[in-house]
Amino acid sequence: MKHSLFFAAALATVACQPSGETADGESGATWESKIHYDQEVHLDNVRQLTDGGDNAEAYFSFDGTMLTFQSNAEKWGNKCDQIYAFNWDTDTILENEPQLISNDLGRTTCAYFMPGDTTILYASTFAGGTACPAVPERGESGAYVWPIYSDFDIYVSDLAGNIVDTLISGPGYDAEATVSPDGTKIVFTSDRSGDLELYVCDIDGSNITQVTSGLGYDGGAFFSPDSKKLVFRSSRPQTEEEITKYKDLLANGMVEPTHMEIYTCNIDGSELTQVTSLGNANWAPFYHPSGEKIIFSTNHHSEKGYPFNLFMINTDGTGLQQITYDGVFDAFPMFSPDGSKLVFASNRNNGGTRATNLFIVDWKE
């Protein structure tokens, strides 16, 4: 979601150096054998949850005891992203494979607990083919692109991995779904209008209503703590050249996520507000428990596209503050329902490989 489609694995190769730190000369990314940096004053008791592969988009259950996430870890037999769930406090998934939630067919993304914590929704391409779909090549300029698989539909599985409902389906892309804290609504991204827009529906998939309408990719949406607003990432092309490029890519099932900003709106689409105007890629936003701030991932401060770090900003666009300081990649932050924990994905402490792992911390105001 969230969504979806990792930056991390496709971004940069990091080569070892004798000093114990690695650097990629092309991207400027650096790696150190650390799970915590002194400047990360809001993070306490940092704990690494996974080791190896791309593990990201971890989201808490309503009671805060479990996490669901997506992984392509080869050690678990994955050829592309699949959905898992585990108890983050007691399950030792560094050594043991967690419970598989998806059906191990096609490619999956964007899992989220449903109310009651007995079922999980996620998007999958398996109805269009059981194999992993092809990953698109980079664009003409060498820019990274996200695939918009038209076979993505949204399903609901129980905690044993059995599909119990096809929640949202139809021709075209339906994915990036999350659930409101009050358990009554779902927001997702779809191209059913011909563009990538946000939609809201009831928790059972009924009453689908379009939220956004501006040309460009709107995705990765989350509800505010009071369930009345949405925060999301958006690329809104402005010039004729940008518009043509966006439409051409979308017609070929791709978007280029190199220029995105953070927006908010009410769940009916009113009061659309651009929160950031930082440049580069600002994405993976999530509301602070107060509802007055947003934590997100950005490379706006990077000269060569790296690093991505977590920053926090007030909902009115003021008070920008850096939260993480890894030299490569930090993204997909989510606060626990009670606000005491933060989970995120990072390339830190990965031995200079491309592995993206999950980390959980105690949040300090």
Residue 3 counted as domain residue: no
Residue 1 lies in a domain: no
Report, as an integer, the average pLDDT of 319-348: 97
- pLDDT of 306 reads 85
Q: What is the DSSP letter of 135?
A: P
| Residue 248 included in any domain | yes
- Residue 200, judged by CB atoms within 10 A of its CB (0-12, 13-18, 19+), counts as buried
For residue 68, pLDDT over 70 is answered with yes
Per-residue model confidence (pLDDT) at position 139: 60
Q: Does residue 337 lie within any of the structural domains?
A: yes
Domain, as residue range, for 145:
8-363
- Structural domains of the chain, count: 1
Is residue 240 classed exposed, middle or buried when 0-12, 13-18 and 19+ CB atoms within 10 A define those classes? exposed
Tell me what the mean pLDDT of segment 307-321 comes to: 98
Bridge-based pairing of strands 66-71 and 55-60 is antiparallel
137 band by pLDDT with thresholds 50, 70 and 90: confident
Tokens, residue 206: 């009924």
**Three-state secondary structure call for residue 29:** coil
- Which is it for strands 30-31 and 22-23: parallel, antiparallel or unpaired? antiparallel
Asked if residue 271 is part of any domain, the answer here is yes
At 140, the pLDDT band (50, 70, 90 cuts) reads low
Least confident residue range of 18-22, 131-135, 302-306: 18-22
Residue 327 in any domain: the answer is yes
In a domain, 26, yes or no: yes
- Inform me whether the pLDDT recorded for 13 exceeds 60: no
Average pLDDT in the chain: 91
Once rounded to an integer, what is the mean pLDDT over residues 113-142?
90
Q: What is the pTM of this model?
A: 0.92
Q: What distance in Å separates the CA atoms of residue 285 and residue 320, rounded to the nearest whole number?
A: 13
What the block records as the tokens of 315 is: 């909902």
Q: Is the pLDDT of residue 16 over 70?
A: no
Task: Please report, for the domain that includes residue 299, its CATH number.
Answer: 2.120.10.30
Tell me which residue of 337, 228, 332 sits closest to 285, measured CA to CA: 332
114 CB-side CA count, 13 A = 18
Does residue 17 have a pLDDT over 50? no
Which of 264, 251, 252 is CA-nearest to residue 218?
A: 264
